[in-house]
Structures are given as C-alpha cells and as structure tokens.
Amino acid sequence: MNEGVTPERGVAVVTGGGSGLGRAAALALLSEGWSVAIAGRRKEALEETVALAGGDAHRMLTLPTDIGRPEEVTALFAAVRERFGRVDLLFNNAGAVVPRVPVQDVRFEDWNRIMDTTVTGTFLCAQEAFRAMREQSPRGGRIINNGAPSAHAPRPNAIAYTTAKHAVLGLTKALSLDGREHGIACGQIDVGNVEPSDGRPQPPARQADGSSAVEQTLPLDRFVEALLLMASMPPGSNVQYLTVLPTSMPFVGRG
C-alpha cells in the first residue's frame, strides 16, 4: 500500500462487514495478514464475523456504525486510528436493498434509504479515509468502492439502485483524480450475481425484454480473489475498474 507498510501488514476498514461480501472481504484480508476494522449497523452480526476469524480475531476491531451519519463515521475512523495508528485500505462495501418496482411506484423513503447508505455513506467513509491517508506518515492508501454492473447498465424496475451505483462510479472517478497528489488510489469492483450464502436457489430475475430467467451465479471465492488482487497492488499501481461476473450473466446489452 504505502512505502514502509507492506500490503500484507496494512490496516483495512470494511463497511458492511457483518454479512455477505463485506464479511467475506474482511476475513480474506485478515487471512492475508491485514489488521481489519469492520463496521455495520448490527453489533451481533459484526461479532459473528469476528467469531469466524478464529485465532486471527485479535487483529480485528468491530464498530457498530450507521455510515449515513457523519458523526458516526468520524468516530469510526478515529477509533481505527487510535487502535491501529493509520488507515491503508477502505473497502466501501455497505449498501441498502429496496424493492424493484416501476418508476411510478418508487417510495420516497426507499429512494432516500438507498441514497443515504450507498451514496452519502460511501462519500462520508471515503472522505474520512482520505483525510487519514493524506495526513499519516508514510502517507497514502487505497480506497475500493463496491459498485455493480448497474453502475454501467441498468436492470428493469431498479431506478433507485441504478442511480445510486452510477453516483458511486462518479465518486470513484473523483477520488482517483483528487487522490493523485496524495498517493491515494481509488478503484471500483463491480460484482455480478454471487451464490447465496444460505444455499437457497437463485430466484428468477426480470430481463430487459420483460421475461424472467434464473441467471448463473458466481462462487464467492471469485469475488474474494478479485478484491485481494485490487488490495494487493503495490504503491503507484491501481486497478481502476474490475468487473467480475458469471460468463452467461446478462450485462453487455442486458438481454
């Protein structure tokens, strides 16, 4: 990550670390030698992630956080810096799920919920990481934003989610530009359908032509491999965008 701090021994912050991709990312980084702080709204879920860490749990820090609240994000990064001394990597993973409905049926509260978490929360965490990375010595670090194929091509009846992920793409570009002079790299990982962690079958997804189809899923390990590739880049190198998805998943053309 930075001169004097090897990628294997850096300090990572993972949001949404209590389940899904965030949990998988946190445990993978931990296994590679990182010290990892995980944030999320549910304390119990964060503690479950720590329990899965086994003997590496002493290098983890859990911080219940609503990333849509500036004061809680500030407290999160203050606690990380107090415990570990610096921030080398932020995986901006936390997001919100809202029902897929036609444009005219989108509820205002659902629109606000996804914007508050996916857009505002991603910005607030990136801002605090940016502040830490430009001030620390040696300075610099890496921010990885969790985008989605929908940051480039929408699905039907998903205007709020699509808009939010397009905003994350804009944040990634702006952070990359503004971070250059401070040694801060920013990239985005766009992940397609991932196998459900609970083993349930993949439900049918509505296609662009109005039909429904069960789409192929990606093993969770493929996501982990892609994220670790991005996180392990040496100083001066960056994976700007990485899209990982099942070969047959509708994306280019979406149908």
Catalytic residue list: 161
CB-based burial, 169-187: b 16+ in 10 Å, e otherwise: bebbeebbeebeeebbbbb
Separation between Cα atoms, residue 87 and residue 35, nearest integer Å: 10
The token duo for 29 is 């980084």
Asked whether 90 and 12 are in contact (CB, 8 A), the reply is yes
Residue 100's identity, in one-letter code, is: R
Place of tokens 């939010």: 164
Separation between Cα atoms, residue 253 and residue 18, nearest integer Å: 33
Separation between Cα atoms, residue 249 and residue 199, nearest integer Å: 19
Separation between Cα atoms, residue 229 and residue 140, nearest integer Å: 18
